[in-house]
Structure 1
């Protein structure tokens, strides 16, 4: 799973190198990409030629090596994803197919990481738990796709009713016991309910295990809503706070249909979190707390290694300027939050589209 840590590793390992960064919309469902010579190839060829002309003027021999490497890769490349992010150096390449589309971008020199950070921030990983009274399936939704992780089924067959209830085995089959038969039926139903609650607790424990193991901080519980709410109540307090919603999702849905159902919930939650975060930062900055607003103040905070988290709007007014800030923040191991829509509008108005949380007030 591609993470921000992977981006940081790229920067740390290749710090100071001139790098070719490419973002390509290679989605075959786009009509322009269905031609014999798809639109993304035409765009790529034009921009490689542009870089070639610029670097020929500067007698940059390294560019020729990088260009040759990139052209060799794309010569036999067949898209298998919607988006592609590729970084090229003289003797290495770093390729990331993405299941979500990206806008075409190209840069040579300092690596262009802004669009990739935006994709990673927009499509945060979610644990999706599909549960009903009999089984639970666990999926991870990330970067526009849902992947199956595990499943659990209730096992009622392991319980022998006659042994557990202590009742004569013939009592359930004859009418000679009168009220005893009714009591036995009630006892049977109680036993089934007890076993089902044990199943829900097991689902909750497994949910916590997967979330902890895979570093997932957002959970959506789907399937049967009653079963989902019961599982939610069995979660530890920390895990309960990570539950975004409990929703009814038909049991027969494919993983693609599950993703389509939960993605709007996830994006709505992200927008709410962004609005909360932007308000918090603006209020703190205006009160002289641990936050600053605006390009100049953020630039100074980065120079002083004070930035705990960098906030950027998307789309930025200047992608190169935003990329420079993101690049510097990553080298400092600062968090990066990309905000959209109403939250972005508020940040543009208050701080020109950029702000930072600080380790300490200035």
Structure 2
């Protein structure tokens, strides 16, 4: 399955008086044949650590969680089954209600068990960001396949076959007679000329297909294009794509002309993830440059919250290791602190220990993009409370 903003908003709305249990697990194809998979062991260790943390806190909550866990043997077995669909799987369960939600993606998750007031969605936010749509163009000497890739899955959306123009086969050469000793030389020249005409015809065919793909990517807001071609065509295809301000072009070292879509998706993911850190750093740099120049950028919690409250955020970014507390007003506005004019208003406020999740929720509600930051990009926001945003205006 694929996820979208609505998936995450729906999970954040999953409330339970005893909190929500969130389980994440990841699998690789090799683990399906492993007689002793490690995922169950890792999950048991995570559960042991969770129980220890809960025992040090509220005993009623600890008992409620233990009762719920005792009823989850079947669902957890399904979640951990290496032969089940999805390289990354997640399950969310209300402790008191028992309400369950599941997600399965082709992007693997790290083993994790979390109990909190609401669903722990940060791994899904990261998957949605890193797994945003991309187009894959697979070129061969006989045609082109175009695949749409998202969150680890790929499907063929277009296939164009290269057909030689019949005009290329016309023999309009008067040439020498069969008894002419130079006949072989002329025949070789004719073959070379024919191959040149075929290559020129293929070049025009590829240009038309690739131009259409690039236009479609720009129209749909797709910012990544993966190219695969045989070595003899690779440079030509890359030149045909050209350079674009809004599209990053990645060229595979392998030719995928006979590779099934599922395997193409896995190969493309390795290539796409290899440049994700560069994108994170570019986003942070852009936000800082905009903010320092007095333009559409915001740094720090107070400025980012104000922009979220006004619906101005185009792209929210935050340190993925960040844990924050903040306040939500009776009007639904976000505030890192109750101060100034807000403190003197008639609004009432509730404290939220999962304030980053509230930031995510507010961003998604206005169709903003969200990117969790890892090192080294996250370190660039250390002086700004780990939060920044690109603004719409």
TM-score, normalising length: structure 2 = 0.69
Structure 1 position 221, deviation (Å):
1.1
Moved more, 20-29 or 177-186: 177-186
Unaligned runs of 5+ in 1: none
Aligned 1:328-343 pairs, distance under 5 A: 328-343=362-377
Match of 1:73 among 67, 72, 75: 75
Match of 1:294 among 295, 300, 312: 300
Indicate yes or no: 2:352 matched with 1:344.
Answer: no
SS of the residue corresponding to residue 275 of structure 2 reads: helix
Indicate yes or no: 2:384 matched with 1:355.
Answer: no
Structure 1 position 155, deviation (Å):
3.2
CA separation of 1:199 and 1:304: change in aligned 2, threshold 3 A: closer
Taking the aligned partners of 2:218 and 2:176, their CA distance within structure 1 comes to 45
CA separation of 1:343 and 1:296: change in aligned 2, threshold 3 A: same
1:174-229, CA deviations, whole angstroms, 9 ceiling, x for partnerless residues? 46585865664354234312331243135415634874798643112122355234
CA separation of 1:175 and 1:336: change in aligned 2, threshold 3 A: farther
Match of 2:338 in 1: none
Match of 1:102 in 2: 110
CA separation of 1:48 and 1:86: change in aligned 2, threshold 3 A: farther
Unaligned runs of 5+ in 2: 325-352
Taking the aligned partners of 2:177 and 2:54, their CA distance within structure 1 comes to 85
Q: Identify, as 1 or 2, the structure richer in helix.
A: 1
Structure 1 position 316, deviation (Å):
2.6
Indicate yes or no: 2:134 matched with 1:126.
Answer: yes
Taking the aligned partners of 1:64 and 1:150, their CA distance within structure 2 comes to 51
Indicate yes or no: 2:120 matched with 1:112.
Answer: yes
Match of 1:34 in 2: 37
Structure 1 position 313, deviation (Å):
1.8
SS of the residue corresponding to residue 341 of structure 1 reads: coil
1:254-281, CA deviations, whole angstroms, 9 ceiling, x for partnerless residues? 5687667654542343222222221121
TM-score, normalising length: structure 1 = 0.73
Aligned 1:1-362 pairs, distance under 5 A: 1-8=1-8, 10=10, 15=13, 17-18=15-16, 20-27=20-27, 29=31, 34=37, 38-41=41-44, 43-44=46-47, 47=50, 57=60, 73-74=75-76, 76-77=78-79, 78-79=81-82, 80=84, 81-88=86-93, 90=97, 93-99=100-106, 100-144=108-152, 151-156=159-164, 159=166, 161-162=168-169, 164-167=170-173, 174=178, 176=180, 178=183, 181=187, 184-204=190-210, 207-208=213-214, 211=217, 216-235=222-241, 242-250=247-255, 254=259, 262-263=268-269, 265-317=271-323, 320-348=354-382, 350-360=383-393
Taking the aligned partners of 2:153 and 2:145, their CA distance within structure 1 comes to 16
Taking the aligned partners of 1:39 and 1:64, their CA distance within structure 2 comes to 18
Structure 1 position 336, deviation (Å):
1.0
Cα RMSD after superposing both structures = 4.6
Q: How many residues align?
A: 351
Is the Cα contact below 8 Å between 1:126 and 1:216 reproduced in 2? yes
1:59-83, CA deviations, whole angstroms, 9 ceiling, x for partnerless residues? x99x999878855533555343443
